[in-house]
A and B are shown apart, each in its own frame.
Chain A
Amino acid sequence: MRGIAKSMLTTLSVFLRPPVTRDYPNVHKPLPERDRAFPLLLWDQDIDEPFCTGCHACERACPVECMTVLMKDNPNHTSVGGNSKRRKIIDKFWIDYARCMRCNICVEVCNFDAIAMNNTWSGHETSVHDRKDLVMDLQQLTSQSHRGGIKEWVPVLGQANES
């Protein structure tokens, strides 16, 4: 019975400590900047187009084949009178968030730093009623970056892991 008394004292000591609950919908815990929610495409604010050139590198590297990339000639390329240095640019881009396993590989393989993991809460609060809504198209993927709503985290030694 003494052992039981000890258990009860232990629980009592917890009873007297304040609760540790984070009041979630009201209080959002600050996310670490490395947080990996889902990949997003970055927007080149200078030229007002996505960084992505549609090079398919990420599509091929994705372990779960959840990306689809279609590339087109850039209508904004300098050769056709635009101000962009990208000859090719992304035409259509889908990422199936429902399948993505958030492995960061697409970010690591992209040579244009055009894709980054969403490290804001918007990347986590993505419940939908239809799974087709989880297939993000180009517009959805870029809008957050377009608005400047994402601060991309670049690994300090990120170059070291091109395995």
Chain B
Amino acid sequence: MPTGLLGLNPWLDGVVRLLLIVGLMTVVAMGLIYIERKVLGRFHARIGPQRTGPFGLLQSVADALKLIGKEDLRPRNADPWTFEFGPYMVFIPIFLGFVVQPFMAGFQVRVLELGLLYFVAVSSVSIVGWVMAGWGSDNRYAMIGGMRAAAQAISYELPFVLSLLAVSMLTGTLNINEIVMSQAGVPNIVWQPLAFIIFFIAALAELNRPPFDIPVGESEVVGGPFVEYSGIRWSMFFLGEYASLFIMSILISALFLGGYEWPFGTQLGVGFQLLLTVVKASVLIFLIIWVRASVPRLRIDQLMGYAWKILLPLSLAQILINGFVLVYDLPKIVLTVAGIGGVFALVWLTERAIRRPRSARASAIALSEAAS
């Protein structure tokens, strides 16, 4: 049997690494909540948490403690099993996703041969938890929210998977570590700008971040599947959300930005690698928060249409182009050119699709007249 960290047997080794991950996840999720509030505060020309601890640093801790000390309600009509197990189903898959995240060379829980497939497979399960929460709450907002969440997640999973495959085609492997290491020279974003953008958009949708937050949109469904959850059970969803935000930004940086690698060699040591990961992930997180502060929410039909009519064909095209270039051994720069062309196509298609033609008004009139 191969020995892992500290020469322990694989079980113990796994436990130790997982416990480290648990600590990391808790700290990071709380930190992310704090950071998001601070950054959003700046976007809103205000300060954000300030009075709990120095610079409000203890804000998330206070929130967490308060949530633990908060009564945990279950509505009378709720379905007990689904309602109570919803948080588990949401949280555990996200936690499983940590297993393959590359933080630095040599530290991650496990290097899986099929790491990407594993990640995709595992994270697709958590949507069941959303539906459980939504259905189990016996609440109409929760129900609609859960359904929307499911529809959105399955729609954006395809562009997500396909653009991720586009990257793995370049390297010929599904092993995240190998993908990262193959980017020691040039990060993949250079070869795959289109895939990067599609992946980023799909990741936003998978994370239910704006503009894809219709399942939890306050102005429509008052918080979506979690309306009825209170106290610690609710905070599990919350924690999961931020943990997956963290995972997702690590993953994007690993796949497209080169993770812990950079073009100038590895002589600076593992600490520096960790720093690189953190910096790249932070940039992405800032970007995600920035998007949150700036864009309105899409409507469900636009959201689904965008996934199926624009992102899916484009990512299929990206795969075929990648295959063509690789099979016929064309210079890699073709990929870049095609990718940039694809980005333009994406922008053009987006603007065309989203800007409804004026004639849409006529149909709106017809509809409202038919209905009334």
Contact = CB atoms under 8 A, between A and B. Distances in A.
Interface of A: 1-4, 7-8, 10-12, 14-15, 17-21, 23
Closest 8 CB pairs of A and B: A11-B294, A7-B294, A1-B347, A8-B294, A21-B46, A21-B47, A11-B293, A20-B45
A8 B350 CA distance: 17
A20 B43 contact: no
A4 B50 CA distance: 31
- Secondary structure at the B interface, as helix, strand, loop or mixed, is helix
B93 to A, nearest CB: 31
A14 B347 contact: no
Given A7-B294, A7-B295, A10-B294, A1 B45 contact: no
B46 A4 contact: no
A19 B41 contact: yes
A99 to B, nearest CB: 33
Given A1-B351, A10-B294, A15-B42, 17 more contacts: A4-B294, A4-B295, A7-B295, A8-B291, A8-B294, A8-B295, A12-B290, A14-B43, A14-B45, A17-B45, A18-B45, A19-B45, A20-B46, A21-B45, A21-B47, A23-B47, A23-B50
Contacts of A23: 47, 50
Nearest to B350: A1
B184 to A, nearest CB: 32
B340 to A, nearest CB: 14
- Secondary structure at the A interface, as helix, strand, loop or mixed, is helix
A19 B290 contact: no
18 contacts: A1-B347, A1-B350, A2-B347, A3-B351, A4-B294, A8-B290, A10-B294, A11-B43, A11-B290, A14-B43, A15-B42, A15-B290, A20-B45, A21-B45, A21-B46, A21-B47, A23-B47, A23-B50
Given A2-B347, A2-B351, A19 B47 contact: yes
Contacts of B41: 19
A7 B294 CA distance: 6
B42 A19 contact: yes
Nearest to A18: B45
Interface in B22-41: 41
A3 B350 CA distance: 11
Nearest to B51: A25
A55 to B, nearest CB: 48
Interface core residue of B41, B46, B50, B293 (most chain A CB under 10 Å): B293
A20 B43 CA distance: 11
Interface in B264-297: 290-291, 293-295
Contacts of A11: 43, 290, 293-294
A12 B39 CA distance: 11
A61 to B, nearest CB: 41
B104 to A, nearest CB: 30
B100 to A, nearest CB: 32
A43 B50 CA distance: 41
Contacts of B293: 11
A117 to B, nearest CB: 30
B170 to A, nearest CB: 25
B267 to A, nearest CB: 36
Contacts of B46: 19-21
B234 to A, nearest CB: 28
A161 B68 CA distance: 58
Contacts of A3: 351
B43 A15 contact: yes
Contacts of A19: 41-42, 45-47
Contacts of A1: 346-347, 350-351
B326 to A, nearest CB: 29
Contacts of B42: 15, 19
A10 to B, nearest CB: 7
Contacts of B291: 8
Interface core residue of A2, A4, A14 (most chain B CB under 10 Å): A4
Nearest to B348: A1
Contacts of B347: 1-2
Contacts of B350: 1
A66 B45 CA distance: 40
Contacts of A10: 294
A25 to B, nearest CB: 9
A98 B51 CA distance: 30
B198 to A, nearest CB: 13
A11 B43 CA distance: 6
B197 to A, nearest CB: 10
Nearest to B39: A15
A158 to B, nearest CB: 38
Contacts of A18: 45
